[in-house]
Structure 1
Amino acid sequence: MTDTAPDYRDTVFLPKTDFPMKAGLAAKEPEILARWGKLGLYDRLREQRQGRERFILHDGPPYANGDIHMGHAMNKVLKDIIVRSQSLLGKDAPYVPGWDCHGLPIEWKVEEAYRAKKLNKDEVPVAQFRAECRAYAEKWVAVQRAQFERLGVMGDWADPYLTMKFDAEAAIVGELLKFAESGQLYRGAKPVMWSPVEKTALAEAEVEYEEVVSTQIDVAFEIVDAPNAPELVGAHAVIWTTTPWTIPVNQALSYGPEIEYVLLSEGDRRFLIAESLIDTFYFRVFASRHPGEGRDPLTPLGERGLVDPGLRRDDDGDAAGRGATLWRGKGAQLEGATARHPMHALGGFFAKPRPFLPGDFVTTDAGTGLVHMSPDHGEDDFLLCKQYGLDPVFAVDGAGMYRADWAWLGGQGSVINKKFVSADGPICADLRAAGALLAASDDFAHSYPHSWRSKAKVIFRATPQWFIPMDREQSPSRSREGLGEGVSADAALAVTSPPPTPPASGRGDNGATLREIALDSIARTRWVPARAENRIRAMVEGRPDWVISRQRAWGVPIALYVNRATGEYLNDAHVNARILAAFKEAGADAWFAADHQALLGADHNLADYEVINDILDVWFDSGSTHAFVIEARYGEGTRANLYLEGSDQHRGWFQSSLLESSGTRGRAPYDAVLTHGFALDQTGRKMSKSLGNVVDPLKIIQESGADILRMWVASTDYFDDVKIGKEVLSTASDAYRKLRNTFRYLLGALDGFTDAEKVPVREMPELERYVLHRLGMIDVELKAAAEGYEFNRYLRLLTDFAQEDLSAFFFDIRKDSLYCDAPTDIKRRSYRTVLDILFHALVRYAAPILCFTAEEVWQVRFPSEDGSVHYLEWPELPALPGDDAASTEWSDVRALRVQVTEAIEPLRREKRIRSSLEAEVTVPEALLSPAALAELFIVAKVTEGDGITVTPSDYHKCGRCWRLLPEVTDDGALCDRCAEVVQPGVVA
């Protein structure tokens, strides 16, 4: 085109829009949030959807302490995407956010404040302490609520549920009383996980496992009687343990009936151990005598110069010399044998003979093949000892100290203190002085439970606690067990665990156990992903009775009265009704300030009853939320369509809710459960402040906007653990920009579009009908992905369609028609009609994920004070005629287009042509007409020939549309189409 050629730029119909390419989400999103608040978006949507099919996603309550982290953000965004997508599908999808407000984390924080002031929490009136806990929770509820709203989470923020609201506390105690009324509670002394630092029992879900290094010791118990093997009398049975602090509470030794044991000698002493563990036993013993020596059991002792002549075996496995095998036999021969405690000289408890008991849990994986039994501090120990009449003695108190009257180490501890239990500590020192310590070393590495709040070690400790039994048939008439106030340790031994599992007697509240009902409910629930079912099933199959009591102050009390004479809790409907009324009026605080005689009424004397002040496990609180959130708002018997939380909640909220509802309603409180993974750093490590790898969602929102974070959540394979970091977020940002650009193009291309311009589908060119066909296919897949909660697939479908089908194909091809055809041209009108259909579909599809951007897009095109994209429902696409372009082999055409584009590229790089418009192409098979193919390939000419070849065109370029066409007589002249369009009256 020469310098004097006419300038036709003003005659080209370029897209026009005020929608900016630069999103500015961090500044724009708060404005949109404020508009939604003013509009009352959530409430108005509830009004619009009234009477529609309801979809309830029940919010698992986060804990009200501290700013939200990436796990919170991922969880809440995923919930919001699902709720918004269900609303888009035309359902009434309410979302009631909630908070877990009771329990140890909040109490611990308040206690920390007391400790900083050198005050003792136990000296503070309980009402004052609970008020401070409530204020702490209220503070963080307000902080987190604002942070969740900033993520774009739409819900009933004006009326969330809080477990500390009076109505909630009343409902929680009401659920507890349902268990009490049906005989599904008992008070028993069993070992539970106990935190000596926090001085309370813990549930499995409140425990995390960390690698530690413990002290391991080998201790000799002298055998005093062995009726089936008299040769063993005077010998020493050797036990190995990594919890030396349990030796002062030892009551028995356990053996494996089928294990082969041998009696070996060292000098004038003889030791009984499992034959297969001789080598490892020798290494531990000699390592303690020869510090610094290696302990690799693969290296023969003799080769390392550590063999004592009295501890040697010959080549066939028998001990040699003075160490010859003195006796060999099955563990069953130890039946009836007894040993004496190493500290037997202290008398009393320690002077009692320690029986040998058969244990099917005894293995030869490690140790000596003999296990010391302490029913106070182990589940296996408790059950086996209980079977033989040996009960807990409660020697270790709540702080991990031996009680003051204990004959050995009384008043000393703590048992989790490394120095106290070390090889040089008082326990080992006393055992060494008694000649019973054969080996001790502080080097045993293993996994050990810790409180996930205080991070301190926990112990198994037998204490009187309240339990919900897993294997007791439900029956309202079942007798209750209990402990009275001030019961001594000796009296407490009479408390028994629940009876063994009865034979199955069918389903139903009175014919099945809680475990059976829960397992049946699991089978009737949809688990997403499906593999999650196996995980929770295994957990419920193997879980012990539910410990529901805590020895704390902040929470819902176990509002029961226990008869001091019988140990049974009171089960009186009139009393229970008065308790519930008091809780509804004043919340759980009412129990601690109650006139208990008034609650008991005239039929019962308070002097006859112990008032229980233990606090309910917070998992019981959250497990009861379905009662005071779902049923209270939507009707008795209503259950949630979906629960959604992280995979750790199989042992937490998913399970506590399942057990609570199964015990009170005979079914699960949910129809489906979705499990997502955890958010890890970019290298796949767990986020930790100490590692400095925490990715803060609040910072991302502040810098990039919530929609970028939402885009990332939807893009992940969230059924597994996911990674996030700068690189990952950069990928999400790039995908966002491309989608935003698609919307910007649609808004610009549709400038001025009205219904009068629309073209019926049957009159459209094949390309338009093909794109609508593709849209219909994507629509079906998107709906299936939304209903299957597969938003990774959903987003990929959406972005791939926008990039590959639209931007790189449809928009690219039709930009010539949009820019240069006359406004009245059927092809241009058809294109804009399809763009309008695409706009209405894509903005809806994107709205659940990009809730802010979709609203911005909608308001740019359809500005309205009271309108919102989130009122819209799933798009209704136009029906395609039976002979639509879908029957054409468009996939072949598109594949050929890709090949042609690749063939053109070398000429561009060599600067033989500047654009594909200057190319002439030969293709082996003309799938469409040459003119149609030229338009699709965006080239000057297409001919049919051998293979794909590309040459520069000799045609001249149109000065307006820049196409090279045969009718253009000179560069800069107009083609026939453009000449017609620029006539006066055609171009506005």
Structure 2
Amino acid sequence: MTDQPSQKTEDYKSTVFLPQTDFPMKAGLAQKEPAIAAQWEAMDLYGKLREKRAGRERFILHDGPPYANGDIHMGHAMNKVLKDIIVRSQSLLGKDAPYVPGWDCHGLPIEWKIEEEYRKKKLNKDEVPPSEFRAQCRAYADKWVDVQREQFKRLGIMGDWEDPYLTMKFDAEATIVGELLKFAESGQLYRGAKPVMWSPVEKTALAEAEVEYEDVTSTQIDVAFEIVEAPNAPALQTLLKQSHLKTYAVIWTTTPWTIPVNQALAYGPDIDYVLIPNGGTVETYLVAKPLADEFLKRCERENPGLLSLHESEWEVVKGHQLAGAVARHPIFNLLRHPGESRDPASSSDPVQGSETPDQVRGDDRERQLAFFAKPRPFLPGDFVTTDAGTGLVHMAPDHGEDDFALCKANGINPVFAVEGDGKYRADWAWLGGQGSVINPKFVSKDGPICTDLREAGALLAASDDFKHSYPHSWRSKAKIIYRCTPQWFIPMDQPQQGAITDMDGGVMPTPLIASNGPTLREVALDAIAHTRWVPERSTNRIRSMVEGRPDWVISRQRAWGVPIALYVHRKSGDYLVDPAVNARIVEAFRAGGADAWFGADHASLLGPDYDLADYEVVNDILDVWFDSGSTHSFVVEGRYGEGTRADLYIEGSDQHRGWFQSSLLESCGTRGQAPYKAVLTHGFALDGSGKKMSKSLGNVVDPLKIMGESGADILRVWVASTDYFDDVRIGKEVLAGSSDAYRKLRNTFRYMLGALSDYDEEVEAVSYAEMPELERYMLHRLAQLDAELRAVVDKEKGSESWLEFSRYTRAIFDFANSDLSAFFFDIRKDCLYCDAKSDPKRRAYRTLLDTLFHALVRYVAPIIPFTAEEVWQSRFPNSEDSVHFLEWPEVDPRWIDTHLDDKWTELRYQREQVNEAIEPYRREKLIRSSLEADVTMGELLPSDGVNFAEVAIVARVEMGVGDGIVVKPSDWHKCGRCWRLLPEITQDGALCDRCDSVLKG
């Protein structure tokens, strides 16, 4: 080294090769992202990508349709971003991964919004022509499709936005009705009267997926039914023979409004019942022995001192002895005309359950009274327990599934007493025209039902304090009821018979052509077993729901939707099955949409072989879940060919009883298999404290506001970082963490862009064999990262981690922060800044930086597509390509080197130990930089071929000296250019040999 005089450090700044880039540290995403999105749209990014991937292996993620009503919320954002990340990652793998967004445009959510607008104007929906009302629903849906489309595009969702699928498009409506007619042709459809979940507010049947459960406080009552016969119970017979005594069976219910339609009592054959005398009076009460004490406590509150508390006075009646017993309805005597002498227990004029609701409505008061006069039989019920109540259950087949099934098995049919608005029909003898039955005042202990029962002497206890969970309509938030009405059903347990034909009359290829095939439930359960569920535990949820679900109620009594386009023979009650008629129906829908049915020339649709006068035209609307459950037929099969199945469905966990299930049942009923190969379930977005978001609570986190302030990529980082298989939280602190993670990653790219600003691959690139050990170790780490990331995105390589993008995102961030910024870049910045441009080590470093850049920009593109595009264009400003056209980086698996991994894992650990040892000196300002430290270590490190002082960024290191790690300020002098302390420097500010050589060229 020369003995030139010391120069000031500042003089060498211009000689240092500092990174040069225009890529800004401040992201400004809220302003940049819309411009990038406009650029994508102008270049038709999605269309060009389809061209580039044409002929490749296809990956189809079928989009579950959100309702076209209102701005998107955080649940929408989370769902769509997750789908977009998956689609982009599959495209990155080189697959043709189309994404067709869609909307559910029919059904109650949209119809309810139009009704709300009517109510504001004090208009009655029923007074508006149906065609006008349906047109308003269509316009409303159209409006929100356009609004939501732009909001989803702002999130960076890449898809076929020019041609999305809408369930209200004519072709879609034609296909939906065609799918319905497939069920009809294969005999998998029937009309029957069963209790279904019914909303008196919305006046329609509801699917289970349209119901949510809320805690309520209800009225609970104990009601006495006088026993008039008990042929198989000696203890009861003894009491009944004594004409001055009265014996009562006591039922307990939390739905007092069902008492007016009671038709029987259910008991448990294996339960022990007791007869409790009313201390010294003429009444005795029958209840289950295990529940007697609770029953007495309730009675004590209503009628203090009513019953004997001496258990020794109770006689036991075995449950099976109640077979053949008969009771009276408690309200009959109160309803009879004064002076009426007819014995109600022997009435010969009962209401016949086989009559239709219209026939029953025409009955006079005498026939209505006869309903209450009819004997109430005791029936054995396996659902009767001693968990609560009295061990005796009153049966109202109109309003309970167990009630309906037990009564039907014993020849007792529903009577349709409660109207669609929740009121008893006007001609009903007790409380006719009154209600609504879900009104708390109507059913309270002081309401008309309890008041009449009390007057009849039948109300033993009543209180308004029973807390329990109760179903509500998720749209109107009002309570629902079980109500028996004529509806259309798809049976779950009927063997599937006959071939399923397509709408052109041809036989469809399907396994359901056996004369006595499996049931829909069996086919669906088998399909569940052959579907991949992510996470795996979600299999249990869907299986249990399908195992226990009742027949599928597919009809609705609404105006906006696809009609159940069937003709029912007026005499036989059978619906018409004729492929030629069905083909004409489908074609009419294809030409004019669902509206064509309501204004159709039905005689022409029926054709010359049938007389319209012989047929009833069905005008019920299809369950909207049937609509969405059919989307696979006109989206997946319609666009990619018959028999094509989606590779993946993704929705929230509530869709196990919604779209996942309706799609499964629809496809299994028409094709014998699930419409999907795999299903991913994600949780819900909660506020920062883990509470459900609600406008009333003021804790809603608006994705539109986040994008407007921070940018969509920040929101996408949050989605990708969460463990979305469970419910996730989002709030200021959570988003601050996402922003910080994004900022660090952005700075990593900024450094690489600067370091590679003038990189010329043809001149500088070196081979793997020419690279120093540290660079080869970083290639090893890159190969490890690559394998971890591929396990998340590649179904063939991934197992437990498939689609677990929180692992994907965390791995990238950890690599960028820990392996690169805090380790590799930190060590090699001296090489980059101060080595000669032609130096082999500097060339190797930049070669590796180029490799890292091309890998990382691809890896992050699915997560932060706007930033990835910005990074790519910053380095390649003249390229007409997009970063999203690129494919998965080429990472050589031979870069994996376990020997290097072991060695450098230990070196990195010791580096951290050295940094910790230096930190106290830094705090005390004894050492300003680690470069000024001399370190002695008691341990000998595996540092052959490695300068550990360079790795630890210290002046010098002595190993195998003393115990532990000892630090002291170095007595060497500092180079005026690179600031390293080296032995050849005679005074601070002079140049080291390397820097002197670089400057001399």
User: Structures share a fold, TM > 0.5?
Assistant: yes
Given residue 528 of structure 2, which amino acid in structure 1 is its aligned partner?
I
Query: Does residue 542 in structure 1 map to residue 548 in structure 2?
Result: yes
Give SS of 2:300's match: helix
Corresponding residue SS for 1:822 = coil
The equivalent position to 1:624 in structure 2, one of 623, 626, 630, is 630
One-letter code aligned to 2:694: S
Q: State which of 543, 551, 554 in structure 1 corresponds to 2:560.
A: 554
Verify: 1:795 aligned to 2:809, yes or no. Answer: yes
Match of 1:235 among 247, 258, 261: 247
Structure 2 letter corresponding to 1:180? A
Distance change in 2, residues 1:389/1:654 (3 Å):
same
Asked if the contact 1:507–1:517 (Cα under 8 Å) also holds between the matched residues in 2, the reply is no
* Shift, 1:885, TM fit: 6.7
- SS state at 2:694 partner: coil
1:191 aligns with 2:195: yes
**What residue in structure 2 maps to residue 513 of structure 1?**
519
Q: Secondary structure at the match of 2:11?
A: coil
Query: How far 1:882 sits from its partner (Å)?
Result: 9.0
Aligned-pair distance for 1:350? 0.2
The superposition leaves residues 28-57 of structure 1 with CA deviations (integer Å, 9 ceiling, x where unpaired) of 000000000001000000000000000000
- Give the residue type in structure 1 aligned to 2:259: I
1:770 counterpart (766, 777, 782): 777
TM-aligned CA deviation for residue 926 of structure 1 = 3.5
After superposition, the Cα gap between the structure-2 partners of 1:814 and 1:398, relative to the gap in structure 1 and judged at 3 Å, is same
Conserved in 2, the CA contact under 8 Å of 1:509 and 1:666?
Answer: no
SS in structure 1 at match of 2:522: helix
1:957 to 2:965 alignment: no
Q: Which moved more, 1:280-289 or 1:406-415?
A: 280-289
Cα 1:22–1:587, aligned 2, differ >3 Å: closer, same or farther?
Answer: same
Q: Aligned to 1:839, which of 821, 845, 853?
A: 853
- Superposed, 1:643-682 pairs within 5 Å as 643-682=649-688
Pick one of 866, 869, 874 that aligns with 2:880: 866
In the TM superposition, what whole-angstrom CA distance separates every residue of 1:721-757 from its partner, at most 9, and x where no partner exists? 0001000000111100000010000000111001111
Asked whether the 8 Å contact 1:76–1:148 carries over to 2, the reply is yes
The 1-side partners of 2:307 and 2:890 are apart by 90
Cα distance in 2, alignment partners of residues 80 and 931 from structure 1: 44
C-alpha displacement at 1:221, in angstroms?
A: 0.3
**Shift of residue 473 of structure 1?**
0.5
Contact kept, 8 Å, 2:706 with 2:715, in 1: the verdict is: yes
Query: Shift in Å at residue 228 of structure 1?
Result: 1.2
Asked if the contact 2:327–2:376 (Cα under 8 Å) also holds between the matched residues in 1, the reply is: yes
Q: What is the CA distance between 1:268 and its match in structure 2?
A: 2.1
Aligned match of 1:254: 266
Shift of 1:115: 1.4
Closer/same/farther in 2, CA of residues 965 and 343 from structure 1, 3 Å limit: same
Distance in 2 between the 1:886 and 1:714 partners? 31
Gaps of 5+ in 1: 290-305, 479-504
Using the alignment, how far apart are the partners of 1:958 and 1:929 within structure 2? Answer: 26
The answer as to whether partners of 2:300 and 2:306 remain within 8 angstroms in 1 is no
SS at match of 2:926: coil
The amino acid that maps onto 2:883 is: V
User: Among 332, 342, 362, which residue is 2:330 paired with?
Assistant: 342
- Partner residue in 2 for 1:311: 308
**Aligned residue type for 1:278:** A
Task: Give the 3 Å change call, closer, same or farther, for CA 159–954 of structure 1 in structure 2.
Answer: same
Identify the residue that residue 257 of structure 2 maps to in structure 1.
245
Pick aligned residue for 2:572 from 566, 569, 584? 566
Separation in structure 2 between the aligned mates of residue 797 and residue 218 of structure 1, nearest angstrom: 62
Offset from partner CA, 1:190-240 (integer Å, 9 cap, x none):
000000000000010000000111111110000000001213533010001
Q: CA deviation at 1:330?
A: 1.1
Distance 1:881 1:283 in 2: 78
Structure 1 residue 269 displacement after superposition = 1.0
**Counterpart among 413, 432, 457 of residue 391 in structure 1:** 413
Q: Which residue of 2 aligns with 1:119?
A: 123
Please say if 1:785 is aligned against 2:792. yes
The answer to whether residue 750 in structure 2 is matched with residue 744 in structure 1 is yes
Instruction: Please state how far the C-alpha of 1:6 moved relative to its aligned partner.
Output: 6.5
In structure 2, the CA distance between the partners of 1:354 and 1:969, relative to structure 1 (3 Å rule), is same
> Match of 2:462?
440
Corresponding letter in the other structure for 1:869: V
The DSSP-based 3-state class of the residue aligned with 1:191 is: strand
Cα distance per residue 1:549-601 (max 9 Å; x no partner): 00000000000000000000000111101101100000000000101111011
Cα deviations by residue, 1:661-698 (Å, 9 ceiling, x for unpaired): 00000000000000000001111111111111111111
Other structure's SS at 1:889 match: helix
Distance 1:884 1:186 in 2: 66
Which deviations, in whole Å up to 9, do the C-alpha atoms of 1:621-647 show, x marking residues without a partner? 000000000001000000000000000
Please list the CA deviations of residues 336-371 of structure 1 after superposition, one character each: whole Å capped at 9, or x if unmatched: 000000122333100000000000100111111100
* 8 Å Cα contact 1:761-1:878 kept in structure 2: no
Kindly provide the CA deviation profile for residues 153-186 of structure 1, in whole angstroms up to 9, marking residues without a partner as x. 0000000000000000000000000000000000
The one-letter code matched in structure 2 to 1:895 is Y
- For residue 476 of structure 1, report the CA deviation from its aligned partner: 2.9
One-letter amino acid matched to 1:955: W
Structure 2, unaligned stretches of length 5 or more? Answer: 241-245, 336-368, 501-510, 795-801
Residue 265 of structure 1 corresponds to: 277
Identity %: 72
Q: Kindly tell me: are residues 509 and 366 of structure 1, through their superposed partners in 2, closer, same or farther at Cα, counting changes over 3 Å? A: same
Match of 2:316 in 1: 328
State the shift of 1:434 in Å: 0.6
Contact preservation (8 Å) 2:421, 2:436: yes
Q: Is the 8 A contact 1:930 1:941 kept in 2?
A: no
SS of the aligned residue for 2:679 comes to: strand
- How far is 1:781 from its partner? 0.7
What pairs up with 1:15-26 in 2 under 5 angstroms? 15-26=19-30
Residue of structure 2 in register with 1:530 after alignment: 536
Q: Does 1:220 find its partner at 2:224?
A: yes
| 2:941 alignment partner, one of 901, 905, 926 | 926
Residues in 2 aligned to 1:10 and 1:612: alpha-carbon distance in whole angstroms: 86
Counterpart of 1:483? none
- After TM superposition, the structure 1 = structure 2 runs for residues 66-77 of structure 1, keeping only pairs within 5 Å, are 66-77=70-81
Any conservation in 1 of the 2:873–2:879 contact (CA below 8 Å)? no
1:288 CA drift (Å): 2.2
- Give, in whole Å, the separation in 2 of the partners of 1:13 and 1:477: 77
- Residue of structure 1 in register with 2:767 after alignment: 760
Alignment equivalent of 2:692, drawn from 686, 706, 712? 686
After superposition, the Cα gap between the structure-2 partners of 1:4 and 1:872, relative to the gap in structure 1 and judged at 3 Å, is closer
Q: CA RMSD in A?
A: 1.6
Q: Partner of 1:161 in structure 2?
A: 165
1:128 aligns with 2:150: no
| Residue-pair matches, total | 932
SS in 1 for 2:428: coil
Matches within 5 A, 1:884-895: 886=900, 889-895=903-909
Distance 1:116 1:368 in 2: 47
Alignment match of 2:395 (pick from 373, 377, 382): 373
Matched, 1:360 2:382: yes
The residue that corresponds to 2:107 in the other structure is: 103
Cα deviation digits, residues 394-413 of structure 1 (max 9, x gap): 00010011111111111111
Are 2:291 and 1:277 aligned? Answer: yes
Post-superposition CA distance 1:925-948 (Å, at most 9, x none): 132159710100001001111221
- Are residue 48 (structure 1) and residue 52 (structure 2) matched? yes
Which residue does 1:449 correspond to in 2?
Answer: 471
Note if contact 2:499-2:513 (Cα within 8 Å) is conserved in structure 1.
Answer: no
1:635 aligns to what? 641
Q: For 1:822, which of 836, 842, 859 is the aligned residue? A: 836
Q: CA deviation at 1:278?
A: 1.2
Distance change (3 Å), C-alpha of 1:967 and 1:218: same
CA contact (8 A) 1:769 1:885 kept: no
After superposition, give the CA deviation of every residue in 1:865-884 in whole Å (9 maximum; x if it has no partner): 63100000000025657989
Corresponding residue number in structure 2 for 1:209: 213
Q: Partners of 2:515 and 2:916 in 1: how far apart?
A: 70
SS at match of 1:8: helix
Counterpart of 1:856 in 2: which secondary structure? helix
Once residues 212 and 890 of structure 2 are traced to their aligned partners in structure 1, the CA distance between those partners, rounded to angstroms, is: 50
Q: Residue 951 of structure 2 corresponds to which residue in structure 1?
A: 936
Q: CA–CA distance in 1 between the matches of 2:69 and 2:52?
A: 36
Structure 1 pair 720–888 and aligned structure 2 pair: CA distance change class (3 A):
closer
Shift of 1:256: 0.4
